[in-house]
Structure 1
Amino acid sequence: MTTIALDHLAGREAAALLVGGRLEDLLIDSHTPRPGTIYRAIADRPVKGQGGMFLRSPDGSAFLRQVKGLAPGQSLLVQVTGHAEPGKAFPVTARVLFKSRYAIVTPDAPGLNISRAIKDEKERLRLHEIAHEEMGEGAMGLILRSACEGAADEAIAEDIRAMRDLAQVVLADADGRSPEKLVEGDGPHGLAWRDWPEPGELVEVAGSFATLGVLDALDALRGPEVRLSGGAVAYVEPTRALVAVDVNTGTDTSPAAGLKANLALARELPRQLRLRGLGGQIALDLAPMPKKDRRVFEDALRAAFRRDEIETVLAGWTPLGNYELQRKRARAPLAEVLA
């Protein structure tokens, strides 16, 4: 059974997703600007050689990549895309989106689109009719998300109207000479409603994290050790430069022990990175296995990350036999949030 628990940790809003009693996802509010927050920012200074620019916002310095035709002092709308490392500017994009459970309004990308996950043609036709009725022939685009499948017409239409109207208000306030926060990004409770599946049980009672075992899971996540199936063990240790993951076979001394341990790590790694809020460069020091088994490991890793929503690039093997990944810093590290 799927359970969503809405609670607080150290006074911060938090949400937990449990499947069969096992913690699968965790969201905790942090002191940094929330992803999804929209600002009217002011261009400050370009970064030579990187094609980016630092911007001034009411919450500190932001960094925008791939800048063209933007001059210092110019105002523009930007949206926070992730969390920054301590002491660094937070990342933003100029392609703002207005996202809810059913609808995503895209001011810079016109057209009506429906999630590819919805295959039924009758359902797609129903959703297209709702989208066309609510958006009309306007210049803004719309994406209907997979959660729309089977949802009531009015619920979808109401979501579209809310995002459309919000987009119109924000776009009308884009010009100005001073930086300003125009939209606050969703907190953990809002994100749980927006992005997680419909739960079999929704628990909103204070202290639910303790009764459901979430606090026990958090205690385990504070340490580097990760117990894997078959007796293998991994250690996930963030450093200033990267996240190091070491895999050991444990007590298994069979010829296939290395491959089994590495496959167990592949299946568990997305969950561990998600719960720990880790991103950036990730290096896997895998258990010894023959080179002929690398393809099997790669296939297992690719399948595991295909089900994970946070953007992750599987970079490949290093000359020393380690495997590298690059993951978007979509969340604040758990160690920082709980410090």
Structure 2
Amino acid sequence: MKEEILINVTPQECRAAVIENGMLQEMYVERTSSRGLVGNIYRGKVIRVLPGMQAAFINIGRERSAFLHAAEILPISETELIENDNITTPDINELLHVGQVITVQVIKDEIGTKGARLTTHLTIPSRYLVMMPDNPHIGVSQRIEDEVERQRLRDILSHSKEAQTAGELSKKGEVEEKLSESDESPSKEKQTKKRKKKKLKDSVSDEQPGYIVRTAAEGAGDDELHRDADFLGKLWQSIKERIRGSKAPCLVYDDLDLALRLIRDSVPSDVETIKVDSDEVHTKLLSFVDDFVPALKSCVDLYSGERPLFDVYNVEDEIEKALHRKVQLKSGGYLIIEQTEAMVTIDVNTGAFVGYRNLEDTIFKTNLEASSALARQLRLRNLGGMVIIDFIDMKEDEHKRQVLRTLERALERDHAKTHISEVSSLGLVQMTRKRNRESLEHLLCESCPTCDNRGSIKTAQTICYEIFRELYRSARAYEAQKYLVLATQEVVDRMLDEEASYLAELESSIGKPIRFQAERLYTQEQFDVVLL
């Protein structure tokens, strides 16, 4: 399967698109003013303990307090037992108290009115491995199905851990030797070296970390895995030093930005092209892949065409379609996708498709096409949580089985964890998709005040960025002395206030003045760029 990654970078935001066989499959957006928190490590302070919810709220230095459940505080072994119903969860008051300082990691971004979700089970990812500092277990991704390959990867990591253990023991011996020498020194020197004693002890840890081998490691050599393990070991040491010297609440480890994180976590080794339209980000990507994924170096290209990168691949139009509730199928059928607070509902309809043979065959073909289409929409729109799919009722069990199998195959390339149930007696399929960041609609849109929050419109910020892109596109395509932008008062105010620095930067870049005029009759999503 031909896969391409497109990365569009502006001073305000970074957008990444995953293209498979010419079709947009996934969309990532990270804005400079609101970067994602997943993977960040904080020193937090407990501000409230809730025994009734077996949870606590933690101040990590952000506007909204974060949420920590009791199951995310316990040692890994005890948590596994709780999931198997062998023991009961200890009372949250036995684990935490108000004012306590604790090291936590974000596992789910702030979504809607909810704060970030936290865990004390820290994980630090690299290209091939995920380090678990507090869990010595070695695991292998379930997506690697070959048992021989799974065992090979385990053996490599086991040998790497043995080498690390030997190094730690050697280092510990040197420390003990230095400490014993300090005991024989004169009293004044004893006090000086005693002050170093704690520092020396703090730099050595008897705990050996565990690892999870990621899917990308399939087929990787010993040197690549050892290099990853060494890198993670050094990174964890630096994080520990920051934790010791920090005062809660504060950030002690900030995960990579979107472009580098995408290369590390999501890009398969067989990707054909990674195109980026920024010189600075292109240089960063080349340096990153040279260190961690040398095989991808030849795939990273700098795009310098006249047309905007996303326009060349029709990505802008696909994003626009992904914000609509109706999805048209090639056969003439369609999907209706509704995202609510409780769940996502997807309704399948035959629409204009009348079939060729009989009703059951028409329904079966529509449901098969809908299975592939809705799997793509879940990835593209980043819809998660509980998903209810209302397929058209099928009578034959074999048809139901084939529709489910088609849906499962379509979701195999989805990086988010999914679970699908059987078709119910009502023709419904229940499934779950792991959600750890905002959906595309919630990121780009807001509730519409005109219809009393029953729908949504694009935010003023989103419209401002569309205007920036349109101005940049017009400057490349046409000659003009100056530009006049017609938009709503709210959009104009934002352009001249919050976005003023970016506006000045754009005017300097295109060498032409840009003027704004508020139009009272325009809707928030409506704007025009006039060439003068």
**TM-score normalised by length of structure 1:** 0.87
Partner of 2:479: none
* Alpha-carbon shift at residue 299 of structure 1 (Å): 3.3
- Does residue 1:142 correspond to 2:216, yes or no? no
Structure holding more helix per residue: 2
* Alpha-carbon shift at residue 98 of structure 1 (Å): 0.4
Decide which of 363, 372, 376 is 1:258's aligned counterpart: 363
1:43 aligned counterpart, secondary structure: strand
- Does residue 1:180 correspond to 2:250, yes or no? yes
* Alpha-carbon shift at residue 217 of structure 1 (Å): 1.4
Decide which of 379, 389, 392 is 1:287's aligned counterpart: 392
Partner of 1:333: 439
The CA distance in 2 between the partners of 1:122 and 1:243, in whole Å, is: 38
Supply the RMSD in Å over aligned alpha carbons: 2.8
* Alpha-carbon shift at residue 248 of structure 1 (Å): 0.4
Partner of 2:231: 162
The CA distance in 1 between the partners of 2:218 and 2:428, in whole Å, is: 42
Unaligned runs of 5+ in 1: none
Partner of 1:90: 116
The CA distance in 2 between the partners of 1:226 and 1:301, in whole Å, is: 17
Are the aligned partners of 1:247 and 1:285 in contact in 2 as well (CA < 8 Å)? Answer: yes
Pairing of 1:1-339 with structure 2 (within 5 A) = 1-8=2-9, 11-30=12-31, 31=34, 33-59=36-62, 60-67=64-71, 68=92, 69-115=95-141, 117=144, 119=146, 121=148, 125=152, 128-129=155-156, 132-133=159-160, 136-137=164-165, 139-151=208-220, 153-174=222-243, 178-194=248-264, 195-198=266-269, 199-206=271-278, 207-253=308-354, 254-255=358-359, 256-290=361-395, 292=397, 293-315=399-421, 320-339=426-445
2:234 aligned counterpart, secondary structure: helix
Are the aligned partners of 1:235 and 1:247 in contact in 2 as well (CA < 8 Å)? Answer: yes
* Alpha-carbon shift at residue 323 of structure 1 (Å): 2.7
* Alpha-carbon shift at residue 56 of structure 1 (Å): 0.8
* Alpha-carbon shift at residue 286 of structure 1 (Å): 2.1
1:240 aligned counterpart, secondary structure: coil
Letter of the aligned partner of 1:170 in structure 2?
I
Change (3 A) 1:84 1:329: farther
Change (3 A) 1:17 1:125: same
4+ residue runs of structure 1 moved beyond 6 angstroms? none
The CA distance in 2 between the partners of 1:55 and 1:285, in whole Å, is: 39
Larger RCO (CA under 8 A, 6+ residues apart): 1
Moved more, 125-134 or 309-318: 125-134
Identity of aligned residues (%): 27
* Alpha-carbon shift at residue 247 of structure 1 (Å): 0.8
Structure holding more strand per residue: 1
Q: How many residues matched? A: 339
Are the aligned partners of 1:82 and 1:328 in contact in 2 as well (CA < 8 Å)? Answer: no
The CA distance in 1 between the partners of 2:350 and 2:229, in whole Å, is: 51
Change (3 A) 1:48 1:305: farther
Unaligned runs of 5+ in 2: 72-91, 166-206, 279-307, 446-532
- Which one has the largest radius of gyration? 2
